[in-house]
A and B are shown apart, each in its own frame.
Chain A
Amino acid sequence: MSLLELKDISKIYGNLHALDHVNLTVDQGEWIAIMGPSGSGKSTMMNIISCMDKPTTGQVIFDGRDITKDSRRKLTEFHRDKIGLVFQQFHLINYLNAVENVMVAQYYHSMPDEKEALEALERVGLKDRAKHLPSQLSGGEQQRVCIARALINSPSLILADEPTGNLDEANENIVLDLFRQLHKEGTSLIVVTHDPEVGEVAQRIVRLEHGKIASDKKNEQFAE
């Protein structure tokens, strides 16, 4: 069974069709890159998948359930169980240290557990930075904290909107390595990027143009 299905999704702002009759199916464990020029509707699509935004028309089927009709509270609960988010601007809470930032995700999900949070930081190679505040971390380190936070609740899907947009090449590679690991463990990944290097490591590449899917193909170079 597919993990996620977008059925005839449109998002209309005034007379602007940010998404225009989009259909997309994501299988469990798939790693998809969403590419396309700026303004093509990538972020809009991510927000709809992550339940932060509702489509104007169409249905989102997650784990076989139509979540478009769910109440906001239900959506929130659903989202925090299933989805981990990685942002271009990291969005760490600036007065909490690295491990506390990870624990916030546990806190809203179920139970904070410092030991588990430290293990998540260890996975992203930041065990010795656990007590540092975001301002004391480099951009790459902050993004790794953000990834640790996204994976702490073992989501079935990680959504990353331009995760390497603010990173140098070395940090970009660290982040991509982490994605590779997560993929191996069976986590589904949807990564929005306009950087071809980031797109090319995904299993499948979806191109958006003017709110429509322009192409959707398997990546031949994908290395398992």
Chain B
Amino acid sequence: MNKKHRMFIRMVMASLLRRRSRMIVALLAIVVGATILSGLGMIYYDVPRQMSAQFRSYGANVILTPSDGTALKDSAVNQSMAFFPSEQLEGYTPYRYENTKLHNLPVTLAGTDFASVLKTSPYWHIAGTLPNQNGQTLVGKHIAEQFGLRVGDSLEPINSFEVTEDMDVTALLPEEVYTDPATGERYCDHILSLTVAGILETGGSEEDYIYVTLSDLKDFTLTDRGYDIVEVSAAAREDALKGYLTAINQQVSGVSAKVVKRVTASESTVLSKLESLVLIVTIVVLALTMICVATTMMAVITERRREIGLRKALGALDSSIVAEFLSEGLVLGGIGGLIGSILGYLFADVVSMNVFSSAITFRPLLLPITIVVSVVVTGLACLIPIRSAVDVDPALVLKGE
């Protein structure tokens, strides 16, 4: 670096540091612009993700049912799940329904996997807790009202059937089994002892079921016939999802996979509308910010016309004046862009916290993008006033008042 370059840097730095109040005004304009740009940028990138998560929290977006009217086996379910990329598969929950009696009234028991149920039904509102072991139950609100059940109460649905020779009776207690003295046939009143862990409120048909663990249901019915339905929550867009389902329907026998149509379709349209809304807002704000930065830089440079005239009178070529003033602008643009991209992240995070109640994902790529855009915008904004300032006639601006 020769003396000329050093002097160049010295002048640029002196202008930035010793004209601090002026520079802070310009910097502020750039920081505000860069903050809005990077903030909206992050929101723009994150909105689809946030909104998808929001939409999926209103239920699974795929259901698997048996195509042959029987039940879904574990092997078929596992085979189907393999079609979803693992990072998109948020969870799946099997359900098996069995009719039985409680206090001699018909009720339906639903066996499910409580560990995954909130992944596919996050909207479930539970008073009490979710069952976490056998013998616990989650009772739908209607059932709870019908039978006067509260958390901690116990209930004993009874499964009555004829015991046949081929039955595996190891799960039966001796006192449950009795023989009809007239016919000699053996009957069983098999009892499932349950404790209410929670009451389920959904506003939907779920309130009519008594949810138990799959293994309780298996013991209760003495069979493990499979599942009636499997709900799946996948973070995939509609077209990708359709592809997976087509593959499942073609390649996994006995399984019929369907998109839960209404949710997924509206999810996509609302999302793309939201995306374009954020994009439009970003562009409009960016344009306004550019104008703001440009006018600020114009004011900052216009008040230095006399200095430009002097430099020309000292023999400066137009190109060196442009280089000096532009460098100041570019340094300001870089600093402003750096500060702005950090503030923008905080801004986006606050917005995300308030609107979506979740932290925003920091996009490292937006940091260099914001800095480059802010340097370019500031450079362009400076170039216009510099160009006109360079045309000043030194004789005119240096003249006495």
Taking Cβ atoms with an 8 Å cutoff, the residues of A that contact B are: 43, 47, 50, 52-53, 73, 76-77, 79-81, 85, 87-89, 91, 93-96, 100, 103-109, 111-113, 133, 149, 161-162, 165
- Are A80 and B11 in touch, CB under 8 angstroms? no
- Which residues of B are found within 8 Å of A112, using beta-carbon distances? 3-4, 6-7
Is there contact, CB below 8 Å, between B395 and A96?
no
Q: Does B218 contact A (CB under 8 A)?
A: no
- Does A111 contact B311, Cβ atoms closer than 8 Å? no
User: Is the Cβ of A111 less than 8 Å from the Cβ of B4?
Assistant: yes
Contacts of B6 in A (CB 8 A): 112
A73 touches B393 (CB 8 A): no
CA distance A113 to B3 in the complex (A): 7
Question: A96 with B11: in contact, given A52-B395, A113-B3, A133-B18 (CB under 8 Å)?
Answer: yes
Does B174 count as interface, using CB distance less than 8 angstroms? no
Count contacts on B: residues with CB < 8 A to the other chain.
30
Within 8 A of A (CB), among B1-60: 2-4, 6-8, 10-11, 14-15, 18-19
**Cβ-defined contact, A52 with B393, below 8 A:** yes
Q: Is the CB of A79 within 8 A of B315?
A: yes
B14 touching A95, Cβ below 8 Å: yes
Q: How many angstroms between the C-alpha atoms of A89 and B315 in the bound complex?
A: 19
Q: Which residues of A contact B14 (CB under 8 A)?
A: 95-96, 100
Chain B nearest CB from A146 CB (Å) reads 10
Closest chain-B Cβ to A141's Cβ sits at a distance in Å of: 18
Q: Mark B305-337, 1 if CB is under 8 A from A, else 0.
A: 011001111111100100000000000000000
Chain B residues contacting A87 (CB-CB under 8 Å) are 398
Please pick, from B3, B15, B317, B398, the residue contacting A111 in the complex, using a CB distance under 8 A: B3
Q: List 5 A-B contacts (CB under 8 A).
A: A53-B395, A85-B313, A108-B315, A108-B316, A112-B4
Q: Are A91 and B310 in contact (CB under 8 A)?
A: yes
B399 cross-chain contacts in A, Cβ below 8 A: 43
Contacts of A91 in B (CB 8 A): 306, 310, 313, 398
Give bound CA distance, A53 to B19, whole Å.
Answer: 31
CA distance A95 to B307 in the complex (A): 10
B394 within 8 A of A: yes
Contact string against A for B residues 110-141, beta-carbon threshold 8 Å, 1 for contact and 0 otherwise: 00000000000000000000000000000000
**Residue B181, interface by CB 8 Å:** no
B7 near A89 with CB under 8 A, answer: no
Given contacts A85-B314, A95-B18, 7 further A-B contacts (CB under 8 A): A76-B316, A80-B314, A103-B7, A108-B311, A108-B314, A111-B2, A162-B400
Whether B315 and A109, one on each chain, are in contact in the complex, defined by CB atoms closer than 8 angstroms, is yes
A residues near B316, Cβ cutoff 8 Å: 76, 108
Please give me the 3 A-B residue pairs with the lowest Cβ-Cβ distance, nearest first.
Answer: A80-B315, A95-B18, A112-B7
Chain B residues whose CB sits within 8 angstroms of the CB of A47 once the complex forms: 395
In Å, the complex CA distance between A131 and B401 comes to: 28
In the complex the two chains form, what is the Cα distance from A149 to B315 in whole Å?
12
Q: Are A89 and B401 in contact (CB under 8 A)?
A: yes
Taking A93-B310, A95-B18 as contacts, is the C-beta distance between A88 and B4 under 8 angstroms? no
Partner of A104, one of B18, B306, B311, B400: B311
Determine the distance from Cα of A77 to Cα of B316 in the docked complex, in whole angstroms: 8
A149 to B, closest residue via Cβ:
B314
Nearest-CB residue, chain B, relative to A72: B318
Assembled-state Cα–Cα distance A95/B393 (Å): 22
- Distance, CA A165 to CA B3, complexed state (A): 35
Q: Does the CB pair B307–A93 fall under 8 Å?
A: yes
A52: chain B residues at CB < 8 Å are 313, 393-395, 398
Q: Residues of B contacting A88 with CB < 8 Å? A: 400
Most buried by B among A47, A96, A108: A108
Which A residues touch B401, using CB under 8 A? 89
Note all chain B residues with C-beta closer than 8 A to A79: 315
CB distance from B361 to the nearest CB of A (A): 43
Identify the closest chain A residue to B321 (Cβ): A108
Least Cβ distance of A125 to chain B in Å? 22
What chain A residues lie within 8 Å of B320 (beta carbons)? 108
Name the CB-closest residue of B to A87: B398
Q: Given A91-B398, A103-B7, A104-B311, do A73 and B317 touch, yes or no (CB 8 Å)?
A: yes
Q: Which residue of B lies closest to A93 (CB)?
A: B307
Please give the distance in Å from B151's CB to the nearest CB on chain A.
Answer: 75
Chain A residues contacting B313 (CB-CB under 8 Å) are 50, 52, 85, 91
Identity of the chain B residue whose Cβ is nearest the Cβ of A103 in the assembled complex: B7
Judge whether B314 and A105 touch: CB under 8 Å: yes
Question: What residue of chain B has the Cβ atom nearest to residue A105's Cβ?
Answer: B314
Cβ of A143 to closest chain B Cβ, rounded Å: 14
A-side contacts of B8, CB under 8 Å: 107
Once bound together, how far apart are the Cα atoms of A79 and B14, in whole Å?
27
Name the distance in Å between A216's Cβ and chain B's nearest Cβ: 24
Residues from chain A with Cβ under 8 Å of B400 in the complex: 43, 88-89, 161-162, 165
Closest residue of chain A to B19, judged by CB? A95
A44 closest partner in B (C-beta): B395
Residue of A nearest to B22 (CB): A95
Q: How far is the CB of A126 from chain B (nearest CB, A)?
A: 19
Rounded to whole angstroms, the CA-CA distance of A96 and B13 in the bound complex is: 10
| A79 to chain B: closest residue by CB | B315
In the bound complex, CA of A81 to CA of B314 (Å): 10
Q: For the complex, what is the distance from the CA of A107 to the CA of B5, rounded to whole Å? A: 9
Contact assessment for A100 and B11 in the assembled complex, using a CB-CB cutoff below 8 Å: yes
